[in-house]
Amino acid sequence: MTPHALIRPFIPPLVALGLIATPAMAQPDWEQRHRDGLAAIVQQWLDAPHGDYGSLSFTYWNKDGAVPEDCAACHSQPGFLDHLGADGSAPGTVNAPAAINAPIGCASCHTEAAHALDEVTFPSGVSLTGLGPDATCMTCHQGRHSGDDVATATEGLDSDTVSADLGFLNIHYGIAAAVIGGADLRGGYQYPGQSYAGTFTHVPSANTCTDCHDPHSTQVIDTEGCMSCHRGVENLRDIRMQHGDFDGDGDISGGIHAEITGVQAQLDTAIRTYASEIIGTPIGYAPARFPYFFTDSNDNGVIDPDEATFPNRYQSWTPRLLKAAYNYQAVKKDPGGYVHNPRYLLQLLHDSLADLGTVVALDLGANRRP
């Protein structure tokens, strides 16, 4: 099917919504020009994650024939419309399983209900209002757990005793909104007695989702605009507004991204050290296999393909290990976190390391907490 064929059904509703001009307002070649423009937008969408018909995000449930209610709001356009109440149902909840193979498309955002959406409630229970168009983005990019869930799961348990009641809590994926909100939304596990960075605010021209990301391609719109302020760098990852040596390696020549990945590598090592020395069951992380943390049966420091199976998921959780692993995953699941809220991520990583360091030998003397 050609892009023109794909977009033809959308032209009348987009005109009705005022998103494109009417023939009376345009030149005689209006329809062709707008078909070309819409074709370009559709192609951007098809090339982006939201329009990827082959992605597991939209095909994982094909074997079941429907996307379940708990997942449908973000993994099926009909489910998102159900969540909005755009299908005539009550808003704020998904009332029925949704269709498979239905990625997030035009109707997800270009409906009256989506335009009216202005408030989002996060897993921590915190609600943000006055969000405008960001509300549709934040509905799905908020994660499914918060640090509060970790605190509840571990409450009253001895920090270093394995509990059969504990299992890994996965914050989920694409959690940019939770990261931007920092301590205000409590996406990460925040250790008692520590202070954490709140909502990250940027310059007025780069302070909303679509200020920085094209809504159809999801790509960053204008990196040159970033470089006009952050002079002397050639890549977004080279930017740093905080100049501490957070990973303690003596090198602050790179960007804040390098500091985050440096501390995260240290946390990975600390998690494995703790599991081996304190629990006695080696652990490893497999970034592309659910539920991500597995028993490292041969204790070789990596999760081999035959180990990355659900029956071999790590099951010897202590509260201390769960808190650190949750924060490790939270940082992993926002690849753009170095832009969205680097201070918050560094604080989560640093405090997870420091907590593990109370019971295993870690050399953190050169690490600085932002």
Ordered per-residue pLDDT tens for the chain, 370 residues: 444 444 445 555 544 444 444 445 445 576 777 677 888 998 999 999 999 999 999 999 999 999 999 999 999 999 999 999 999 999 999 999 999 999 999 989 999 999 999 999 999 999 999 999 999 999 999 999 999 999 999 999 999 999 999 999 999 999 999 999 999 999 999 999 999 999 999 888 888 999 999 999 999 988 888 888 888 888 889 999 888 999 999 999 999 999 999 999 999 999 999 999 999 999 999 999 999 999 999 999 999 999 999 999 999 999 999 999 999 999 999 999 999 999 999 999 999 999 999 999 999 999 999 9
Around 74, how many Cα atoms within 13 Å sit in the side-chain half-sphere? 18
Burial of 175 (0-12, 13-18, 19+ CB in 10 A): buried
On whether the CB atoms of residues 13 and 110 are closer than 8 A, the answer is: yes
> How is residue 73 written in tokens?
């709001």
How far, in Å, CA of 276 to CA of 319, rounded?
A: 15
pTM score: 0.90
Sign of the alpha-carbon dihedral angle for 13, 17, 23, 29: negative
Strands 127-128 and 120-121: antiparallel
How far, in Å, CA of 267 to CA of 262, rounded?
A: 9
Distance from CA of residue 318 to its chain's centroid? 25
How far, in Å, CA of 210 to CA of 219, rounded?
A: 10
Give the position of tokens 């921590």.
124
| pLDDT for 30 | 65
Q: H or E segment at 293?
A: strand 293-295
DSSP annotation of 173 reads S
